[in-house]
Amino acid sequence: MYYYSFNYVYSSATNDLLNQQIENSKNQTILISKMLSERLSSGYSKSQVREEFQKSIENMSIENSFVCMFDSTGREICHPNQQKIGKMLSENNSVIKFISNQKAEINFKKAIIEKKATGGLRELKKYTEIVYLNPVKNTNWIVASHANVEKFRTIFSNLKEKLSLIFILVWLSSSLLIYFVLQFMNSINLKKIGEINRDTGKQYFNELKTISKTLDKKEEITKRVLADKGNQLTPVFINNIAFIFTENKITYIIEYNNEKSSINLTLDELFKSLNQNTFYRASRQIIVSAKAIDKIQKYGTTQLKVFTNPISPIDIIISKAKLTEFKKWAGKN
């Protein structure tokens, strides 16, 4: 009876540790996915956000645990080891088995293609690891958190040795006493694992915040541009620009005081250097500042017409395709 009690408690403690790690991995991927989604919602491009994330995890140790990111085709797009980037998962690469039901499993690549939020024990040919997948909202990205099972096996082995000693010493006492001791030891190990994951998570997010602040500072550097006013080159401050438009392949800048100047740059080149929370690319012909918008009216059944002060020499029509994006941008300003 004591032997079976011992095995039951040991098995229960092992499953608790694995479930705790899967829960920690789940929380980690949810937090990272949410942060990446918020960066995209703030106006940063996918390439900027992906580069930020790659820089935050680059060259980090993958011995204990790490995070990476796939696209929905199964291609690795971010990984601490840069040599892994661009590699495609094979169809029979591995499966994920669920702790609660070892008979239930799902193909790892299939879970990524279907953008499933799931996790468990990932079994590969040479090793097994704990993994959790979580998709990034409004993208084809899937964040994956990996944890080395070998580290947990060491914990399990040490735990078993201690439990065996306790079992020999107190097996005459009662199986109930063994149960409470095991629960106590289990809680200590769970706490240690939680602390390891929290420290790892903080390291990722501190790196992301540092890189984000650096990028924000780079954006603040562009405060003025050099434009043609008559026969002179004059600096035009970004804060004074009401809108920028093209006409006959010439790019014109209109300031709030209605002064007009031209610049030898395309709208695409100018837009990249502007704060996209303040300026909006309304069409192929015009970029408009939020402060210059006087009123917005419905135009037809699926479009909007924007009126500015000073008055724009060309009509500013928001197409049906840009309607949702424009409303979201305008609502922030």
Condensed to tens digits (0 to 9), the pLDDT of residues 96-148 reads 988 777 678 899 999 999 999 999 988 877 778 889 999 999 999 999 999 88
So what's the pLDDT on residue 219?
A: 46
Whole-angstrom Cα distance, residue 184 to residue 314?
74
Pairwise pLDDT comparison (60 vs 212), residue with the higher score:
60
Residue 218, pLDDT > 50, answer no
Whole-angstrom Cα distance, residue 248 to residue 262?
12
Per DSSP, the three-state class of 124 is: coil
Given a contact cutoff of 8 angstroms between Cβ atoms, the answer to whether 146 and 133 are in contact is no
Confidence (pTM): 0.47
The whole-chain average pLDDT of the chain stands at: 83
Which helix (H) or strand (E) element contains residue 169? helix 149-170
Give 3-state DSSP helix, strand, coil % of the chain, rounded to 5: 45, 30, 25
Query: Of 85, 129, 135, which Cα lies nearest the Cα of 112?
Result: 135
Query: Of 134, 127, 146, which Cα lies nearest the Cα of 80?
Result: 146
Task: Please name the residue that has the structure tokens 């009662």.
Answer: 174
Task: Collect all residues with Cβ–Cβ distance below 8 Å to 102 and sequence separation of at least 6.
Answer: none
Residue 61, pLDDT > 90, answer no
So what's the pLDDT on residue 324?
A: 93
Residue 208, pLDDT > 80, answer no
Structure-token pair, residue 4:
């079976």
Q: pLDDT grade, residue 236 (50/70/90)?
A: very high
So what's the pLDDT on residue 241?
A: 95
Q: Which CATH code of 3.40.50.720, 3.30.470.20, 3.30.450.20, 3.30.70.100 fits the domain covering 2-219?
A: 3.30.450.20
Q: Which amino acid is at 221?
A: I
Q: pLDDT grade, residue 2 (50/70/90)?
A: very low
Mean pLDDT within 197-206: 60
Pairwise pLDDT comparison (20 vs 183), residue with the higher score:
20
Please tell me the total number of residues recorded for the chain in this structure. 333
So what's the pLDDT on residue 128?
A: 82
Pairwise pLDDT comparison (73 vs 202), residue with the higher score:
73
Given a contact cutoff of 8 angstroms between Cβ atoms, the answer to whether 241 and 286 are in contact is no
Q: pLDDT grade, residue 10 (50/70/90)?
A: low
Mean pLDDT within 225-238: 88
149-170 helix and 175-221 helix, angle to the nearest 10 degrees? 160
Domain ranges within the chain, ordered by starting residue:
2-219, 224-332
Residue 287, pLDDT > 90, answer yes
C-alpha angle with apex 52: 288 to 115, nearest 5 degrees?
A: 95
Q: What's domain 224-332's architecture?
A: Beta Barrel (2.40)
Query: Contacts for 112-118 with beta carbons within 8 Å, 24 or more apart?
Result: 112/70, 112/72, 112/74, 112/142, 112/144, 113/72, 113/73, 113/74, 115/72, 115/140, 115/142, 117/26
Per DSSP, the three-state class of 81 is: coil
Pairwise pLDDT comparison (83 vs 182), residue with the higher score:
83
Q: What are phi and psi of 170, to 5 degrees?
A: -125, 15
Q: What is the DSSP letter of 115?
A: T
Given a contact cutoff of 8 angstroms between Cβ atoms, the answer to whether 142 and 72 are in contact is yes
